[in-house]
Amino acid sequence: MLFIAQWYFWAQLLFLASLPLSLLVFRRLPDRGYPLAKSLGLLLPAFLLWVGASLRLWPNTAGTLLAIMGMLLATGLLAVWGRRGELTAFFREQRGLVLVTELLFAAAFGLWAVVRAYNPDILSAEKPMDMGLLNAVLRSRFFPPADPWLSGYPVNYYYFGFVAASLPLRLSGVAPSVGYNLALVHFFSLTALGVFSLAFNLVRLSGARWRV
């Protein structure tokens, strides 16, 4: 259970690092992108890490990732500072939305963690290949990562999704075999929030009343 709590903790910190920017970019949506910030918490740091490591500006390490998170948070806070009154009003008026978002994420995370606990094997279909690419991303200092099947050559395959999956894995320090399954749990939870955000915004933009 400890590794699940570790992953969840770092997933929430990644979310908080990207939350101010999400609230600013999606400010015209009824939910202001609060649920979508969970996904941006993976995508934005992963993109910046990937670009920098691909250009060899910075290494693919936990220290670099923490620096990127700090930079995103500082940038976001500076960007929304002039709208702090507006954001305070949003959180005051949409307490229910925030609560439902967090409860839905936690429930989806817990549900799929149980499902994966009963089927954790990384054996069939493309799972061994996925595991190989995830390990290649974790072990490579710069990108593209080293090819796990052809020594001395870089991966000739799309791998950005594995960069995103590697973020909470690297920060939490859990074993890659455990992190592989928790990454699937995390993506399932983000999908649930994406569906909720889409439905909430469509209903509210249609003029209907949906209070949470």
pLDDT digit string (tens) for 122-158? 988 899 999 999 999 999 999 999 999 998 899 999 9
Read off the amino acid at residue 77. Answer: L
Q: Which residues of the chain have pLDDT under 70?
A: 208-212
Residue 125's pLDDT is: 84
Asked if 183 contacts 170 with a C-beta cutoff of 8 angstroms, the reply is: no
Q: Say what the pLDDT of residue 210 is.
A: 59
Residues 59, 66 contacting (CB under 8 angstroms): no
CA distance 113 to 25: 31
Which of left, alpha, beta for 158 (phi over 0: left; psi -120 to 50: alpha)? beta
Q: What is the pTM of this model?
A: 0.93
User: 154 φ, ψ to 5°?
Assistant: -80, 160
Identify the pLDDT of residue 198. 95
CA distances 163 to 84, 100, 137, 192, Å, are 33, 29, 6, 21
